[in-house]
Structure formats: structure tokens, C-alpha cells
Structure 1
Amino acid sequence: ALNHGYLHLNPEVSKRYFVKEENATKGYEEEFSAVKTKGTFRIFVQGESSAVGFPYLFNGSFHRMLKYRLEREFPEIHFEIINLGLTAVSSYTLADFGREIIRQKPDAILIYAGHNEYVGALGVGSTSRLGNKPFMVRVGIQIRRLRLTQLFLGLVHKLEKENAGQYSETLMQRMARKQGIPYGSKKYQQGIDQFNYNMSRLLSQYQRNHIPVFMADLISNEKDMKPFMSIAANPANQKKFDDLIRQGETHMTNGCPDSAAKIASAIVEEDSLYAAAYYLLGNVYYSKGKSDSAALMFRKALDHDQLRFRAPSALNEHIYELAQQYGAVVVPFHQTASKFCRQGIIGSEIVTEHVHPNLKGYSMLADLFHNALVNSKLLPDQHESFPDEAFYSEMPLLRMDTLIGLFNIIRLKKGWPFYQDESAIPEGQNNDLQQRMALGVVTGTTNWTNAMDTLYRDAVRRQNHDLALRIAESLHLQFPYDPRFAEKAGGHALSLGNYKKAGFYFAKAFEILPSPELAQQAFVSFLKDDMPEKALPYISYLMRESTGSNSYIAMRSMVENIIQLKAEYRMSPDNNEICMGIAGEYFRMGNFFIADKYLRQILSRNSSYTLAREMQKKIAELQH
């Protein structure tokens, strides 16, 4: 969709892939320039709900974390990271987007997908199917693109909905057919084949157009998520096996893992498809610290879980094969997440429920994609350092974002197939504004943008510049082409004495909508951060706008002198005369803080340097 020179994802696009309109999901509508400008590095993200950032969404998603980091490390590059992920879609959606993405001249593609090949839209075990053959599905998608077809289907689904009454089931429940897909069965293999078919179509297009692709392999909750559906090969054994598993779990609770192991092993010997037996054996080995055996059993439990909301482990092998075949780079998410978790087995330390990462997981994925992009040499070798610790502390995530994730997970787990009723979402009014806003976003009584606006106005009223800054930064990530949020972030950073961040945001606002006021703010901020090279373009702009004002001419001359002196000082870092020259120029500008920084450097080498002592005394007198 086009909006005043900017494009964004069509909010109705998912209707191509969902047979029933009620199940169609919406993604981000992140704007990017319709005409790619010089100096822009454009990245598209493809995937499912984890790519979107569920359960946190917005700045809890890995692509927002990645953008925040890249912008600070490469401030001279204009990054556009456009997330085209959609909840509950399969690889058919990714493949269908390929041509449209290529037309937008991407510099890189990031992919995290594969969990929805069975019960996602057009998945082999989904209620949302257009046929069993890939050709039929592709034809069905093309037909659904037609406006007349959409209008007709919309009328049909409206009538169906009126006849069916209220949709009280969750999306997971509506998408799954509630039928088991046994390990190794024809339908099991069809899911893997479907992924390979669609990803081959997609990756071959990118390869032909010389577009770099980075694919993350998949993680699931292997250790802390029981199989959703364990079905006995012989229905007559179902109750017996279920009862035996409960006995085994009781043995584990009572500290008798050997007894539990005997039960689980006996079931596996009789029926190799019964997932819960593998899961019980995994817990036995885990309790004994036998990590390799535990990992193998937990993986078998996942693979034999017949309700396939988690991708089988074999799909990761195919991701590596596809990447090798089509020249993509694999980002080792599974390996990295495993190392982070106890005994090297992925569990609730990194995953919120069955597949969606928690904030640590998403930040890990952002780091992995970041490192892959930097190592690919697509970006300049020289860049500013933004260490992990600084990134984690500065990323503008609010407690509201964390609570949105928590409340979304509570709601999800109350329904099928989890049916966990352990936690309750707070009800009624309370004095915790962030909690109220999170609850409003989750229940739909407000949206994220309005909630952030409410929090921002409250922070400004209380003169909480730190919180107001984080909110303004959040809104700038959401609306990167609206200068108001960048300008507000710069103003709050300036109030906090964070001149580096102030300069960054005033420069962003100026880039979007140049003005003398923003140029002045950027110029002052960069000089207060001792960055004369970055300040120079703004004083030059002010000179042009003021038709050569003498004060600006003199200021520009001083800035150019500082740039020259700093270059000399880098070559002769012990030269006190050069250092004194830099301090003198900053002193004449009235930038006493930076002047004193250089004076202290001189005095650390020569404590009796008279000129430095005298200038420090003058600064002290002027400041008082």
C-alpha cells in the first residue's frame, strides 16, 4: 500500500492465505520509502508469529532490537528494517511474497520460519487448506488475489459466521483439525516437503537476484513442554499408556526416577510412536544429569508429538541443506539457545510456551542476525562500538511491553491445547498505569500507540525525563518517518546530559524534516559530545539559511580548527600545545565541559602546566 511516498504491508494481505476470513491475521504496517534513496540499507524480515515478536510485539520483536543496534553502530547509514511476518502463516506465504520483495531492492533478507507447516495457513494438517498439491495451492492463492473473488468469499464467510454464532475458540484451535499426524506418516513427510518446496522457490529467486539471505534455524521448548498429543498406535492401549505415564510422573515427583524409567522404557518397547514415554525418559535422564541422553529423549518427544504446533527437529537439517544449496547464511539460533539453557537443552529459560522466545530469546536472535550481517561485509568495517551490555540497558523496552507479553501468554495458555489456569490477568482499576495500559492493549480497549501516548504525557507531567526518553525512542522505532518523536527523544536526552543520544535523535529529526531549530539542536549536542565532525554539516546549514551570518561564520571556523587540531592530536597524543589549542577553541565557544576534559588531560601529564591551570580557574569563575 502507498501513503504519501511511502509503502507498507497491505493490512488485508493475509486473506490470500486463510480460507476463513475470521482467521486472517495482520502484521506490521512499517513504512519505507517508495523510492529507495542513496545511503539506505533495506532489510526485509519474513516469518511467522515469532518473527512478528509474539507475545510482546513492537519493540519486543527481534527486528526492532536489531534496528536499534545497527542505527547506533552505523549512524551514517539509513536503515529500513521492514517486518513482513504474519501470525499463523506457512511457507506458502513467504514464497508468495518473494517477487514483491525483490521489486523493492532489498540489501538483505532475514528469515525465521518453519513452525507452521502443519497447522498454519495452507498447512498440511490445517483447517485452512486450498488443496493437497502445491500447484493447486499456488493457483488458489492467485485466484484469491482477484478483487471479485475476495468480495464473493467475504460474503460467504459473513453468512457462515452468522450461522456459526460467536467465535469463542482461539486461533490455534480454529486452525488445527485436532487430528494427530504420526511421526513418519505420509502427512508428516508432506509438511517437510512443503517447507522444502516453498523455501526452494523463494531462495532460488533471491539467489538469481543476488540478494543476501540470512536464515535462523528453529528453537522449541523441548524440556519444559509436554507433548500436546500422545496417541497409541493401537487405540486399545491408549488408556493403559496414559495411566502408566501418570504413574511414572508420580514416581518422578517422589524421587524414584528408576521406577519411572522402567515404565517409560516398557511403553517405548511396545509402541515407538507414543510421545509422552519419550518425554518421561527425558525427565529421568535430566534428573540424573545425563544431558546427552536427556536431549535425545526430549527431541524424540517433540518429534512424536502428533499435534504439530512445533516443527519437527528434522526441519533444522533441511534449513542447513537449503542454505547450502542456495547460498544463504544460517544463523545458529538453536545451538546458541541450547548453550544458554541448563544442561544444554532448550526450555523455559528462553521460550515462553511452546515456540515463542522470551525477551532474552529475541535479543539473542537479534544479536545473531547482527553478527551475521556485520561478518558478511555488507556493512562498513569501521563502525561505532555498541557492546551487548549497553544495548541491553538502552533498548527502549518498557515494563508495559513485558506485561503485554505476560498477559498474552496467560490468555494463550488458558485455552486449547494448554488449558493451564495457573495465573490470572489483573482485573479492575489500580494505580499502576503501565499495567493498566498493558491490560488495555491485550484486551483491545486501547492500542499500543495510544497506550504509549498516555504513558508519555504522564512521564512529562511528572518530569520523568528518563522514562519520557524511552517512550519517545519507542515511538520513533514505530514511526521512523515522523520527526516529532525523534525531536522529543533528543530533547529529553539533552535534559539528561546524554549529548551523544541527543545528537543522534536531533540528526534523525533533521534528516526527516530539516529546519534551523533542529540544526541548532544537533550542532550544540554534537559539540557538547566532542564530535565536531558531526557538528560541522549543521553549522554549514545554518550559515546557508542565515545568508552568511558573521556569528555562524566565526563558529564554523572554530569547529574546523578543532577538527584539524584533533587530527594532529591523534598523531601526537602527548603534545600539550595541541591539546591546549583544542581546549582554547572549546573555551571560546563557551563549551567549558569539553574544554576542561582536555585541560585535565594536559595536567595528568604535567601538573604544573600554567596555561591549563589558568584556564581552569577562568572556567570556575565563569561558571559561578
Structure 2
Amino acid sequence: MKKKIIFKLIAISIPFIIIFILETILRIASYGEDYQLFHRIPIDNKPDYLVMNKNMAKKYFKDSDLRSDNQSDLFLKTKTDSTFRVFVQGASTVVGFPFYKGGSFPRMLKHRLSLTFPNKNIEVINTGMTAVNSYTLLDLTDDIIEQKPDLVIIYAGHNEFYGALGVGSSISYGSYPTIIRSYLTLKKLRFFQLLENTYYKIASSSFQKPSERSTTLMEVMAKEQQIPFNSEVYLDGINQYKNNLRKVLSKYNRHDIPVILSTVVSNEKDIIPFISEAIPNINEFNEALEQEKPEAKKIAQNNAHAAYSLGTFYLEKNRDTAKKYLHLAKEQDLLRFRAPEKINESIAELSKEYNTSLVDMKSIFERHSKNGIVGNELMTEHVHPNIKGQFLMADAFYNKIKDLKLLNNWNNYIPYEEAIQDIPVSQIDSIQGILVINKLKKSWPYNINYITVETDSTINNNLKDKYTEIKMAQDINLNIRKWDDAMAIAYKMYESDEDYEKALDIAQTLIFEYPEQGTVYKMAGDMCMKIGNYEKAAFYYFRFNYFEENKESSEKLATAYIKLNQLNEAKKALSKAEKNGLDVSSLAELVEKVTKN
């Protein structure tokens, strides 16, 4: 009897042993993808850093030519006592589409917090990826928890239907959350990747892979292009979001990690519904609309285009009525690229359920919009904020962090009026964003009439000038020039033209990309000195001296302190350099030099 039991146990264990051996061999052979969220970045003579795995998106976009963007934010592998660490979760708005770089609210937030707390190491790590939804949020949560965050910010909801693995997505396994979560867990195994790759190779001849080459990511991702309000697929998407977000919040709660949730924002005023049923008896509807008969409003209750027509009709007549019907038009839009209000209601509901802080971003945007209706003043298209919109988001989270008292001593608090004058986005990146949006609006599901010809003609008129901002932005957009090279040229160009503010924007943008390199802080400090902002110069020179302590960095820091009439701080900087064996100028010599200049 015992032998039979042992034999059965051996028989059962053999497949698992084979899988274990195969898994080990595949890992040794470096087969497949490593889906760890963060990878180590070794830097000579400096602490190790971590950065988000650039191939992470492949986990959610398997066997396709789709490209999902993400930011690369370095942070210390070993968290220090002076570090305040924030992780931001979401999709393309979080990544900063279409501006990226310093045009994302997480980087704007980091910039402002760093200036507010100059003695702290502020880390704001962007884990957003384009075209993902709540399945990805949940999948990344455990890896984020391992990095000991002081705060997590979540802004997500627009991609719930068409994002990777969503109920209406072309990359989906249906409305089976348990199966999808299990699938994502198995994807970490190289053995499973081998099985999946083999399957796709065999099946590749019988189906066409999704591709962006002849269309846009939006069209490729949208399988169920029409999802009626309150339909089965619609309700599945809402439940998918709530269940996944509930699991995310539960995990953070168990580890006592503060979370800030945010409602999501849509462009309701200036985006015609993408797909709508035809308006029955269009002439009669238009007549009823002009005469303000109740029949027009009745039709609008279930027709997106009719509702939008009513909304625009009342824009200058009755703000509340206009707002009501423009919102209804978004809700009735059959192509659900804009999150329905049920998503925001779910966010508010879960915020209360888990006692989680909430930023009502939708209301904030409405307060900064004409007639309280969000439109092109703050949005680039249907859901992505423009530079000012991204700033509003950063401002809201900045003040929420203050309200929650997650950091002490806000003596250097930066008010809205001052912060909006110091948005760390280069002119080139701003133009690059416009180019991206113009290209997007020329394709499905937008009408080509949305395009502003003015921007394109401006570009064409400046093509002859090799180093103009527009030409460099276009070169980056067409992959003719690398972004780093364009920034280096622009910095020198601005400095030569004595346009020090724009040169500072370039330097501050480079700091986001290379936070461990002293040179970028030197560049920023130099421009601050030329502008006459000595306090900010001292901040950047302090970082320059921290990463590269040498004669130059020590003397520049001391000079900034002298300009601020902080002679004791200047003396400390020079004394520290002398103790470390650096042959620096005396305080008297630097004071004399500063006085002469």
C-alpha cells in the first residue's frame, strides 16, 4: 500500500520536476523575457540605481508589433533615510503623452517637491505604460510594494475597455478575470513563454497579427468598436475595473502604504462622439433643435450625436444645459475611448471603502475651464491633457501631499502662481507633442477636419533653418535626430543667444533623464546664475557638488551662497572641499571675485 502511494507521488511529481529542470535551463540560456518590473543600473563609484524594465510592455502586448511607451525614472536601489519615494500608476496620461519627458505630471511633481524640500532625495517613479488598464496596475502592485514606497498615486480608467486584456480589446481573453490574472502570473515563467511562443509560431500563418504600421494603436486595440451604454460588455468593463482596483487597494492597505486616487478627465466640449447611431429624421431634429422643442431633447437621451448637437447649441445660451448634454454625448459615445462616468463613480466609491485619499481631478479641470466644461483649453484631444492640464494635475497632487502631511516642514512651499512659471518642459518637447497630436488626428477615429493647418504650415516655413526648435522637434518626431543630441544643440544655441530661461528648461529636462549625473545640475545652476536666481542656483550646485565633488563644483556652490549673502554656508562648502583634499579658492578670494563681477 505504501509502495503504491509512493509510486503515485513520484508519478505526480515527475511533470513538475521536468518543468523545473526545463525552466532552469531556459533561464541559464537567457531564453524569453525577464518580467521583473525594475532592473539594476550599476554606475561606477556611485550607488546602484533601479529603473523600470523597458521590455515590460511585452508582457501585455504579446506577439504583436504594438509599441507601448513608458518613462525611465532612476531611483536608488537602497532607499536612504532622506528619501521620499512616490510611485505613479496609470497609462498614457501618466506617461505624459504626447509630450513625454518633463511634460508628464509625475515629473512636474518631482520638480516642485525637489525645490520645496532641497535637503531630501525626492523620487517620483513613473510606472505608466500606454494602452494598459487595471490588469496591469494589479500586476505591478507587488513589485512596487517591494520598493517601499512612501506614497502611490493612481490615475487610470480610460483604457478599461480597449486597453491590453480589456473586455473590448483586440488583445483579450474575454471576461474571465481569474483566467487573465493567472495568465499574467504564468507569463513570468520561461517555460510558459516557450509554450506560448510555440503556439503563436504554429498559428501565425492562419491569422494576421495586430500592427500599427498601417493604422494607429487606438484602432488596433479596439476590437469591440461599439459598446452601447449599459450593455453586457459595458458592465463587464466597469466590474473589471472595480474588482482589479479593489485588489490593488487591498494590497497597499495591508502594507500601510498611502494611496492617492484620482478621478479621470475627458474632453467633452470639443470632441464630437466618435461613433453614434444615426439621428432619425435629421431635418426634423434640426428644426426641433432650432425651435428648442422637447422632441430634440428626447432624441438626445439615447443618441450621442444628437446630445452633442444640443450641447453645442446651448453653449452660449445656457451653460448648465450645455454641460448636461455634452456630458451625455460622451456617455452615449459607442466607441469608449473616454471613460464613462461609472468609472469615476467607482473610484469615489473605492476611495471611501478603503479610506483612501481622493483628488477630484475632473472637478479641478472644470474649475479651470470656460463655462465649467472641459475642452481644448486643457486637453490635446479626447483624454490627454496639454501642458497646462498636466501642470494642474501635478499641482493637485502636490497640494494633496501637503494636506496629508506626508512630508514635514513646508517652509519652501511653492504657490500655484510661481510654479506655473517654472514648468520644466522644453519648447522642443512642446512642439514635438503638437506634431504627435496632429498625426493622430489625421487617422482613425478622428476626422481629418480636426487638423489645424496653421501648425503644419509653420513647420514648412521653417524647414530651411537647420537648428530651429520646430525643425529639431520634427527631426525627433521622424527619428532623424536623437532626443539627447537635439537637447545638447538647443542648450548651446539658447546659451549663445542669451535665452537663459529656455536653456534652463533644457537642463531641467535633462535632469529627469540623468538624475545621477552632476553635469546636468551644473548646466541648470549656470543658467540660474545668469538669470539671477541665486537660490535655485545654489540648489542645483549643491546637487552638482554631491554627485561630482571637485574644485569647480565646490567653488560654484560657494559663489551661489555668496550671492545670497550666506557667507557661513559658503565657508562650509569650501572647508568641506579642503578637508577632502581639494585645492579651492579661499572665501575672501571668491568674495572679491563676485564683487568685481
TM-score, normalised with respect to structure 2: 0.85
Aligned amino acid, residue 93 of structure 1: T
Corresponding residue number in structure 2 for 1:328:
356
For residue 92 of structure 2, the aligned residue among 49, 56, 63 is 49
For residue 388 of structure 1, the aligned residue among 413, 416, 421 is 416
Corresponding residue number in structure 1 for 2:489:
454
Q: Aligned partners of 2:49 and 2:295: how far apart in 1?
A: 62
Corresponding residue number in structure 2 for 1:173:
219
Shift of 1:453: 1.8
Matches within 5 A, 1:418-433: 418-421=446-449, 422-424=451-453, 425=456, 426-427=459-460, 429-431=463-465, 433=468
Corresponding residue number in structure 2 for 1:207:
253
SS at match of 2:93: helix
Corresponding residue number in structure 1 for 2:58:
15
Native 8 Å contact 1:299 1:313 kept in 2 = no
Shift of 1:346: 1.3
Give the stretch that moved more between structures: 301-310 or 142-151. 142-151
> Gapped runs of 5+ residues in structure 2?
1-38, 43-47
For residue 402 of structure 2, the aligned residue among 359, 368, 374 is 374
Q: CA 1:493–1:177 in 2, change beyond 3 Å: closer, same or farther?
A: same
Shift of 1:30: 1.3
Instruction: Give the percent of matched residue pairs that are identical in Structure 1 and Structure 2.
Output: 34
SS at match of 1:436: helix
Native 8 Å contact 2:175 2:236 kept in 1 = no
Aligned amino acid, residue 291 of structure 2: S
Larger CA Rg, structure 1 vs 2: 1
Q: CA 1:166–1:486 in 2, change beyond 3 Å: closer, same or farther?
A: closer
Corresponding residue number in structure 2 for 1:187:
233
Shift of 1:102: 0.5
Shift of 1:492: 2.8
Corresponding residue number in structure 1 for 2:123:
80
Comparing both structures, which one devotes a greater share of its residues to helix?
A: 1
Q: Aligned partners of 1:465 and 1:50: how far apart in 2?
A: 30
SS at match of 1:330: strand
Q: CA 1:140–1:470 in 2, change beyond 3 Å: closer, same or farther?
A: same
Q: Aligned partners of 1:484 and 1:155: how far apart in 2?
A: 48
1:36 aligns with 2:79: yes
Matches within 5 A, 1:157-306: 159=204, 167-231=213-277, 238=278, 240=280, 243-244=282-283, 248=286, 257-259=289-291, 264-268=296-300, 272-288=301-317, 290-306=318-334
For residue 307 of structure 1, the aligned residue among 330, 335, 341 is 335
SS at match of 2:480: coil
Q: CA 1:298–1:74 in 2, change beyond 3 Å: closer, same or farther?
A: same
Shift of 1:239: 6.9
Shift of 1:472: 1.5
Aligned amino acid, residue 531 of structure 1: Q
Give the stretch that moved more between structures: 174-183 or 464-473. 464-473
Give the stretch that moved more between structures: 157-166 or 217-226. 157-166
Native 8 Å contact 1:122 1:128 kept in 2 = yes
Native 8 Å contact 2:153 2:261 kept in 1 = yes
Q: Aligned partners of 2:545 and 2:244: how far apart in 1?
A: 43
Shift of 1:363: 0.7
Over the aligned positions, Cα root-mean-square deviation in angstroms equals 2.8
Corresponding residue number in structure 2 for 1:399:
427
Q: CA 1:149–1:437 in 2, change beyond 3 Å: closer, same or farther?
A: farther
TM-score, normalised with respect to structure 1: 0.81
- Write out per-residue CA displacement over residues 214-238 of structure 1, whole angstroms, 9 at most, x where no aligned residue: 112111011211111113xxxxxx4
Native 8 Å contact 1:323 1:330 kept in 2 = yes
For residue 489 of structure 1, the aligned residue among 504, 519, 524 is 524
Q: CA 1:279–1:189 in 2, change beyond 3 Å: closer, same or farther?
A: same
Q: Aligned partners of 1:392 and 1:504: how far apart in 2?
A: 19
Corresponding residue number in structure 2 for 1:68:
111
Q: Aligned partners of 1:532 and 1:538: how far apart in 2?
A: 10
Give the stretch that moved more between structures: 360-369 or 146-155. 146-155
Corresponding residue number in structure 2 for 1:2:
40
Native 8 Å contact 1:216 1:333 kept in 2 = yes
Shift of 1:463: 5.2
Aligned amino acid, residue 196 of structure 1: K
Shift of 1:34: 0.8
1:147 aligns with 2:190: yes
Q: CA 1:117–1:29 in 2, change beyond 3 Å: closer, same or farther?
A: same
Q: Aligned partners of 1:97 and 1:57: how far apart in 2?
A: 21
Shift of 1:155: 7.0
> Gapped runs of 5+ residues in structure 1?
232-237, 556-585, 594-622
Native 8 Å contact 1:21 1:154 kept in 2 = no
SS at match of 2:61: coil
Native 8 Å contact 2:91 2:130 kept in 1 = yes
Native 8 Å contact 2:562 2:591 kept in 1 = no
Q: Aligned partners of 2:174 and 2:207: how far apart in 1?
A: 26
